[in-house]
Amino acid sequence: MRKHDRYIRCIMLAALLFSGSCTKFLEQPSPDEFKPSTVADLRKILMYEGYPVASRSFHPYMSLLDDDIKCIGPDEGSGNWKQGRPAFTWSKKMYSEMRQNGDNDPDTYGKYYQRIKGCNVVLDNVQLVQGRQAEKDQLEGEALALRAYYYFMLINLYAWPFNDSLHVPAKTPGVPLVLSGKVADASLHRNTVLQVYNQVVSDITRGCLLLEETDGKYNVFRMNKHAAWLLAGRIFLYMEDWDKVILYNDKLLAARSQLENMRFWASISNRDPADKSQECYINPSNKEILFLYGCIDEYSLLGLGRFSTTPRYCASDALNAAYEKGDFRAEVYLNAWETTGEFSKVNYKAHLGKSFRLPEAYLNRAEAYVRKYMLQANGTLLQSAVEDLNRLRQYRFSSKTFVPETVTAYYHHPQLLLQLCLAERRRELCFEEQRWFDLRRLGMPAITHFYYTDEKRKPVAYQLPGKSNRYVLPIPEMALINNPLLEPNP
């Protein structure tokens, strides 16, 4: 056995042994069990119990919920497309039906709380262990930002949107807040949406501050100040705090502004076959990636596997039609359903499952500028929004087809610029767990999905009415059984 192979096997074995003992430490703390004594101990706990793991997906069904997807293949009685059917049809018993269809690990709710527990153990102990203060602050910043992200995802999956006028955040059930490794989540009521968001804001604000002060060498595989700034901007966008959206994205775009030139990605025929650096758009060499994490199986239910010649789901007609002539994203992002998916966003060659990407910062800030202009009628805000959108679009179109937007067309019609901004979000962020949440915060419109049960029959239509309760996912049955105080969603 080569020395390198022995080294890798030793590392993997150590990780497995540590992961097992750490899980025990999290679930059944006692004086006799392993106690972290150094920053290095806590770093390992955060790595294996706090960060998303590459071997376990959170919600591979999420892209099946929105209007960017359609079913094109028949249900042949088994396979990923059948496992995804309960999500694609917005079933009230989504998780139990997914399990019946062969998905042995559909519990998104439990997975997020497992990661939160890992973060909590680090936060409980980080200022008590031995180590340099800068290392402690760095670790605390990462754990806080990660916990903010996990609760942000939970509240947007299992509760009504923060800005929904029919459900007041201060009175609407959110999710239970577990803020210490010493607290069990099996005996807690649901905190309100406002309480959860307040905690998310507290975590991400302090997390950003710590990472700004201590963040050393940039690491795309670790939560860092750039990713934390982007997450902060996203959180405040959902809360409609436009000033803070602008504040955090100003910080990010002052430090990182370089976008990928899409025409190089579209030139597949001219690429050297030996060049493996750009096999998938979501990869470490992509200059736009701020944080790369998670499991490549996050998109497994779309049927885009290595040997999948006939995917069961593909981009919807509406999404395809949203791309303008000369927009290379239609080819680079969506061609998985046309050929092998080699240069698609979501395919089996992805290095990891998910990412935080720089283009979102331009889109978040542009939307904040437009919405703030609609309140204040300050022309500088509108000009800034146009500049952000032009900056993104010039890197997505060919030089022959790119036509910059001008601010004069929107002074009296800012709603049109907002529509352009939201359309750009859809084109740029498709299949990155953004569309479903955008639909929620933008009014929860009606959606129709057609599911093929038999290739010889017409597809069955499933309706998601506007502002439907199904825009809030059901809390898994196992969570309700384990916690009798947990209130189910309607």
Are 224 and 291 in contact, with CB atoms under 8 Å apart?
yes
Longest dimension (CA), the chain: 71
- State the alpha helices, DSSP H only, in 430-469: 435-441
Q: Looking at the predicted structure, is the pLDDT value of residue 112 above 50?
A: yes
Task: Write the pLDDT tens digit of every residue in 91-105.
Answer: 999 999 999 988 888
Rounded percentage of the chain residues whose pLDDT exceeds 90: 67
- Look at residue 268 in the predicted model and tell me its pLDDT: 54
- Residue with the larger pLDDT of the pair 300 and 440: 440
Rounded percentage of the chain residues whose pLDDT exceeds 70: 82
Q: Looking at the predicted structure, is the pLDDT value of residue 56 above 50?
A: yes
Tokens 């030089």 correspond to what residue? Answer: 399
Q: How far is CA 117 from CA 25, 173, 228, in A?
A: 11, 21, 20
Tokens 């061609």 correspond to what residue? Answer: 335
First-to-last CA distance in the chain? 57
Phi, psi of 217 (to 5 degrees): -65, 130
Task: Write the pLDDT tens digit of every residue in 26-54.
Answer: 344 443 456 899 999 999 999 999 999 98
Helices 242-255, 225-239: inter-axial angle, 10-degree rounding: 160
* Distance, C-alpha 432 to centroid of its chain: 6
Q: What is the mean pLDDT of residues 262-290?
A: 70
State the pLDDT confidence band at 266, using cuts at 50, 70 and 90: confident
The mean predicted confidence, pLDDT, of the chain is 86
Are 428 and 363 in contact, with CB atoms under 8 Å apart?
yes
- Look at residue 20 in the predicted model and tell me its pLDDT: 40
Q: Looking at the predicted structure, is the pLDDT value of residue 438 above 90?
A: yes
Are 367 and 418 in contact, with CB atoms under 8 Å apart?
yes
Are 430 and 68 in contact, with CB atoms under 8 Å apart?
yes
- Look at residue 103 in the predicted model and tell me its pLDDT: 84
Q: Which of 125-139, 260-274, 306-320, 321-335 has the highest mean predicted lDDT (pLDDT)? A: 125-139
Phi, psi of 38 (to 5 degrees): -135, 165
Domains of the chain as residue ranges with CATH: 1-61+110-216 (1.25.40), 273-443 (no CATH)
- Look at residue 52 in the predicted model and tell me its pLDDT: 96
Which residue, among 328, 355, 347, 331, has the nearest Cα to 279 in the 3D structure?
347
* Helix (H/G/I), strand (E/B), else coil: 448: strand
State the pLDDT confidence band at 231, using cuts at 50, 70 and 90: very high
Are 238 and 155 in contact, with CB atoms under 8 Å apart?
no
- Residue with the larger pLDDT of the pair 194 and 6: 194
Task: Write the pLDDT tens digit of every residue in 374-431.
Answer: 999 999 999 999 999 999 999 999 989 999 999 999 999 999 999 999 999 999 999 9
* Helix (H/G/I), strand (E/B), else coil: 397: strand
- Look at residue 269 in the predicted model and tell me its pLDDT: 38
- Look at residue 4 in the predicted model and tell me its pLDDT: 37
- Look at residue 344 in the predicted model and tell me its pLDDT: 64
One-letter identity of residue 94: M
Residues 6+ apart with CB under 8 A from 357: 286, 288, 289, 290, 432
State the pLDDT confidence band at 252, using cuts at 50, 70 and 90: very high
Residues 6+ apart with CB under 8 A from 102: 78, 79, 82, 83
* Angle ∠(359,299,270) on CA atoms, nearest 5: 60
- Look at residue 87 in the predicted model and tell me its pLDDT: 95
Please give the Cα distance from 23 to 115 (Å, whole number): 11
The beta strand positions in 21-77, using DSSP E, are 69-71
- Look at residue 75 in the predicted model and tell me its pLDDT: 62
- Look at residue 385 in the predicted model and tell me its pLDDT: 98
- Look at residue 214 in the predicted model and tell me its pLDDT: 86
Please give the Cα distance from 342 to 268 (Å, whole number): 10
Which residue, among 287, 242, 235, has the nearest Cα to 260 in the 3D structure?
287
The beta strand positions in 48-102, using DSSP E, are 69-71
Q: Looking at the predicted structure, is the pLDDT value of residue 316 above 70?
A: yes
Please give the Cα distance from 392 to 293 (Å, whole number): 24
Question: HSE-up of 236 (CA within 13 Å, CB side)?
Answer: 26
Question: HSE-up of 372 (CA within 13 Å, CB side)?
Answer: 21
Please give the Cα distance from 173 to 186 (Å, whole number): 16
